[in-house]
Each structure stands twice: as C-alpha cells, then as structure tokens.
Amino acid sequence: MFSQTDSNTSSPAGDTHATDVPWHVLCAGWLLLTLVTLPAVQLTGPAAGSLAPAELMRSLLFLLGIHCSWLLATPWLWRLCTRWPLGTGNDATATAKLLAAGACIIPLLSLTGWLLGYSLSQLAIPRTLPDNWLHAVTATSLFALPTYIAVIGIGQALAYIRRYRRRGELLAQAREQALRARLNHHFLFNALNAIGALGYRDAERADAALAQLGELLRNLLQSEPFVALREEVAHAMAFVELQQLLQQHPVQLQLQVSADAWDAHVPSLVLQPLIENAVRFASAAGTDDTTISLQFESRDDQLYLQIRNPLGDAAPGMGIGLQASRERLQAIYGEQAEIRAQRDGTHYQVCIQLPLVSSARAA
C-alpha cells in the first residue's frame, strides 16, 4: 500500500507469475475422475451390478489403466494449446488443427489405455485379447471424445492465463522503464540547466560539473534494472558530489547503513530523485543546518530507506521526482512496497519500505 500524509493514496495491481501444473495435482485430478466414473463402469461393465470387492478392484484397475495414458499425455496436449491458442484472432485454424490432432490422439490413447487397463484388470499381461476388443476400443474412443475436449479446454484456459499474466508483466516492465526514463530526463534537464547557469559564474567549476555529469550518465547507461544497495549508494554519492559543485550552499551528508542491508536488491535510481529533492530543499532552507541524513536498515524481511533533510519555511510539493518514484515502485512491487513523505517540524522526511531481497538470492 502506498500512503503519504500530504497526498492521496494509490493502490496498484499485484504481480503474479505463471506456473506449470505440478504432477501431483495432475495425478490427483485423474484419480478423482477415476473414482467418479467407477460406479458407472461397474454398473455397465461385464459384472454389471456386482459389488463384490474383487469386481470393484478389477473395474478400478481398468479405469486406472485407461486414465494413465491420458495423465501422461496431458502436459503434451496442453503444450498443443500453447502452440495453437484460441482467442488470438486465428481461431478457425487453431480449432482445425486441434480437431485433426484429436482424430489421431484419441484412438491412440484409447488403444494404449484400454490395453493397459485390461492388463491391470487381469493382474497379468494377457496372451490373448477378447474377441470384442476392437469394439471395446472403439467404444472407449467415443467415450474419450468429451475427455479430449475437457483436457483441451483446460489447456486453453491455462494458456490464456499465461498470456494474460505475461501481458501484465510486459506492461508493468514498460511502465517501469517509462517512469525510469522520465526520472532520467528530469535529472538531466535540471543538471544541464544548473551547469549552464554555473558557467557564467565559475567556468572551472562548470567544467568539473560536466565531467562529473558525464561519469554519472555513463554509469546510468550501464546500470541494470536492479542493483545491490551498495551500488545504489555509490551512485547517490556521486550525484551528491555533482550537486556540491552546482549548489551555492553545499550540503553535508550523514550516512547510516546496517551491515545486512548493503547487499539488498533495489531498483536502480531509487535514491537519486529523492536525494535530488533533499539537496534542493536543504540548499534553499536558509538555515545553518544543511545536513541530509540517509538511514538504510533491514528488519523483519523488509528494507527501510529513510531520507531526511532540513526544510526551513519552504512548503514541499509532490515534485516530479517523488511522484514518479511513487508510481515506479507501484509498478514494480505493487502493494508490497510503501512510500511515505511528511514534514517533521523544520525537516522533511521520506521513508520507503521494500521487500528485502538479497542480491545473491535475486541472481
């Protein structure tokens, strides 16, 4: 959940990942189908109406053999649904291919399943088959038609869910990249304006600021979407050095990081826009206190990032940096992250709470 004492709250959508159905779930599903169809088979089979334990066991083993072939084929059939999905604008072709595949698959699975089921029901590999085996396999194939349709239907539903989730992941990635680019443009615009103004007053410092900006941009272009907190702090320190060259009233930085937080996995540039705001307010506070406090710690599987700066009498606004940071964290973490910004007397404080993920585990 995202909250802020001086702004409205926003609620993002969660993020999920598609997973394959595990084998134990498939086995449980087909076993349940076997138990459900057992009474019908027992009432219509050779020993119709018999409730003798031996006959029930023979019917159960026969059904297990038939459904075993379908169990083994289910993942392959679902892969066909991924290859020939419905609802993507080519339904006629996909349906024709699935029907053609079914015309070959249903008799094959029915034959292998019937042979396996018959062998299990006899508790031995039969040397001869009953005279009506072909009729029995044909009937089994006809009864298997709804089974094939059901398996394909479930496979199409799973394929749709995977596409939907993947689409959501891609949209979230695109939104995060757009917000990151927005932050980069905001930072570059401000830095170039400040360097241009500095060039009229102190050309030597402006040259040094340009060199520092070039180094920052090089690191920015080479950075991964997620980095260890130690790398993000190093980037933030380089940014502060640039601001020291640009500001008329240099700020002091106070850093406190718990030992187990250094390797935490964080989005790159998560600190830079917030520190940029902190430097701007601290320099314009009009007080002797220009210390910006950075405190990062991990506890209870959460990472806490706190930035505190003097404010003086200025009234802080949302700003592009804070708002874009809020939206970016929302796109990445959803409700697993929280950002709070509030005024505390003559200071302004931003607190970020993220799920704690170590760089080693993320890799």
155-169, 255-269, 309-323: which is most confident: 255-269
- Identify the pLDDT of residue 45: 62
Tokens of 10: 């926003």
In the chain, which residues fall in CATH 3.30.565.10? 202-362
Quickly name the fold that domain 202-362 has.
Heat Shock Protein 90 (3.30.565)
- For the ranges 113-122, 244-253, 352-361, which has the lowest average pLDDT? 244-253
Q: Encode pLDDT of 34-91 as tens digits.
A: 888 888 777 776 555 566 677 778 888 888 888 899 999 999 999 999 889 888 778 8
pLDDT tier at 319, thresholds 50, 70, 90: low
Tokens of 330: 């929302």
pLDDT tier at 177, thresholds 50, 70, 90: low
Please tell me the distance from the alpha carbon of residue 22 to that of residue 350, in angstroms, as a whole number. 43
Tell me which of 278 and 197 has the higher pLDDT.
278
- Identify the pLDDT of residue 3: 38
Tell me which of 23 and 221 has the higher pLDDT.
23
Please say if the pLDDT value at position 18 is more than 50. Answer: no
Residue type at position 94: A
63 close to 117: Cβ distance less than 8 angstroms: yes
| Residue among 18, 16, 19 at smallest CA distance from 336 | 16
- Identify the pLDDT of residue 1: 38
Q: Is the Cα torsion angle 81, 87, 93, 95 positive or negative in sign?
A: positive
pLDDT tier at 303, thresholds 50, 70, 90: very high
| Residue among 234, 239, 229, 230 at smallest CA distance from 279 | 239
Please say if the pLDDT value at position 131 is more than 60. Answer: yes
- Identify the pLDDT of residue 297: 92
Please say if the pLDDT value at position 336 is more than 80. Answer: yes
Please say if the pLDDT value at position 266 is more than 70. Answer: yes
Average pLDDT, the chain: 78
pLDDT tier at 234, thresholds 50, 70, 90: confident
Tokens of 79: 């892969």
- For the ranges 14-23, 198-207, 230-239, 278-287, which has the lowest average pLDDT? 14-23
- Identify the pLDDT of residue 295: 92
Please tell me the distance from the alpha carbon of residue 326 to that of residue 328, in angstroms, as a whole number. 5
Please tell me the distance from the alpha carbon of residue 246 to that of residue 268, in angstroms, as a whole number. 23
Q: How, if at all, do strands 302-310 and 347-355 pair?
A: antiparallel
Classify 113 in phi/psi space as left (phi over 0), alpha (psi -120 to 50) or beta.
Answer: alpha
In the block, tokens 């595949």 appear at: 101
- Identify the pLDDT of residue 311: 78
Q: What percent of the chain has pLDDT over 90?
A: 14
pLDDT tier at 116, thresholds 50, 70, 90: confident
pLDDT tier at 12, thresholds 50, 70, 90: very low
Q: What is the mean pLDDT of residues 253-282?
A: 85
Q: What is the mean pLDDT of residues 16-25?
A: 65
199-203, 215-219, 305-309: which is most confident: 305-309
- Identify the pLDDT of residue 7: 35
pTM of the model: 0.50
Q: What percent of the chain has pLDDT over 70?
A: 78
